[in-house]
Every structure is written in C-alpha cells, then in structure tokens.
Amino acid sequence: MKNKIRILLPFALLLISAMLLYLLAFSERGAKPVLLENPVGMEEEAEADGDYVYIEEALVPLADGPMSGGASPFADEIASMVNNARAGAGLMPLRVDPALNTAAQIRAAECVGCFSHTRPDGSNCKTVLAQVGVNAGYTGENVASGYSDARSVFDGWMNSEGHRANIMNPRFTRIGVGSSPNSGNQYRGYAWAQVFACD
C-alpha cells in the first residue's frame, strides 16, 4: 500500500498543480466593481437648513496610477443617461461642461491610484474645481471603479442611494464625466468620476 501511495502522490500533486494553473489562467481577475459613498451637495460651509451631507471615508490606497489623460470617451454617453433619468423624474437636464469634464477626468485618473473622495495630496475632492478654473459653491462627486462600460457604472450609481441623489439633485445644472483605465491595482475596467455643479 505504501508503495502505491509513493507512486500516486507525485501524479496527484501534478494534477492539483495543473488544476490550479488552469483556474488562475481562465478565471476572472480583479476585484468586483465598487462605488464609494459620496458627499452630497458639498459646500464650503454647511448650510443652516441642514441639506449638507458629508460621509467620511478612509483613503483606499490601490497603486500609483496615471494622473492625467484626455477626455473620457464615455462622457457624452453617461451624460445622456443622466439626462434621460432626470427627464423621467421631471427634472431639468444637466449641461455638459467642458471644464467639469476636465475636473472629472483628473479625478478619475486620481482614483486609479487612490480610490477616495480625498485627493492624493490630502485635499478635498472639490479642490479640483479651482484647479480647472471653476468657481462653484454647491457641488457633488460620484466615483466608482471596476466597471467596464458606461451602462454598468451608471446602473451602479443609480442603484446606490447617495450616488442617485447626486444624479437626481434638482439644484445641479452642470455635469462633467471622466474615466481612466485601471492599471496596477485590484480592479478591472475603469475608474469613473462624475462632477456636478450649479450655476
């Protein structure tokens, strides 16, 4: 019996190794897509009527990702989905703002390396607006990571109460959208950002 075990053991180990290699080669890699709870209606100071909500979150370090890039190829598609959802609720459409697109693109690229509403330099996500020359008091941001296309990230945001609140906020009049391919972190697809502001 011992001789049979000695003979079969190397074959069993070889079979187990082959199965593990197969699973590693053909299984989906990366973490599931994620949404980060967001500040709704971020302002410099909390308003007296109490409609200012800020949900703190910890920095989620991922990797050193790209920090710049061109306009998102998904910006118009997502803005269209946002405006269709708003129209269905009787809300005015949001105007796509090129400066907000630039801000959202910067934020999406930053979220590849550090998925957070806090920027890599430790400042609030709202500081990206001053960086691109936008002066806005009432703003919002939605971020997500790991979604591979515009429809799936939009559906993720719409199925999340805080993110949906930004999309459907009647005070917002402008939107910017950014996306950046995930690389060097645990997520597949793209890191995504929406930036909202009012006139």
The predicted structure's pLDDT at residue 53: 26
Instruction: Report d(CA 195, CA 181) in Å as an integer.
Output: 18
Question: Mean pLDDT highest for which of 23-27, 57-61, 71-75?
Answer: 71-75
Give the pTM: 0.69
Higher pLDDT, 120 or 54: 120
On the question of pLDDT at 28 being above 80, the answer is: no
Beta strand ranges found along the chain (DSSP E): 34-36, 95-96, 139-147, 174-181, 190-197
Which of 8-12, 85-89, 131-135, 153-157 shows the lowest mean pLDDT across its residues? 8-12
Residues in contact with 123: Cβ distance below 8 Å, sequence separation at least 6, in sequence order: none
Q: How far is 176 from 180, CA to CA, in rounded Å?
A: 14
C-alpha to C-alpha distance for 166 and 197, rounded to whole angstroms:
10
Q: What is the pLDDT averaged over residues 96-123?
A: 91
